[in-house]
Amino acid sequence: MVHYAFTLTRQTAGTHSSGYSVLLALLASPLEFVPIVGPLTSAAVIIGVSAFNKYPHLAALVVFLLLFRFFQDYVISPHLMRKSVKLHPPLVVFGVFAGGDIGGVAGIFLSVPALALIRLVYYEFRHGGAWARASGASA
């Protein structure tokens, strides 16, 4: 995902003539790891630099960034979470917000792994997995 953010930002940030596209892409791609705040920050910086350099297609850039965020946040990410981590998307959103309230930035990063661990423990005890058999719980 970070690679796609880097490539798409570099291709569409469009400040090729001013030479800032690689710098903006290098800034935007690591910010993809910070939920909600990272993409908003990178979009604001990209739009600000493009506007400051009088990029002629600023409206198209804003539309692209909005569509990219929408597609990534509401199509790709929930699909990946459902397939790989097997967590329902609203649960992930709730977990990220709760993790942010409880643990700040570290809580945001650790919220999805913590939810996956809680789900795994619940599933193992509920459905009689190896942990449930070892602890003597009945299935």
For position 101, what pLDDT does the model report?
92
For position 4, what pLDDT does the model report?
60
Phi, psi of 41 (to 5 degrees): -65, -45
**pLDDT tens-digit readout, 91-131:** 888 888 898 899 988 888 888 889 889 988 888 888 776 65
For position 102, what pLDDT does the model report?
93
Low-confidence ranges of the chain (pLDDT < 50): 15-16, 139
For position 35, what pLDDT does the model report?
66
For position 10, what pLDDT does the model report?
61
For position 139, what pLDDT does the model report?
46
Cβ atoms of 95 and 48 closer than 8 Å: no
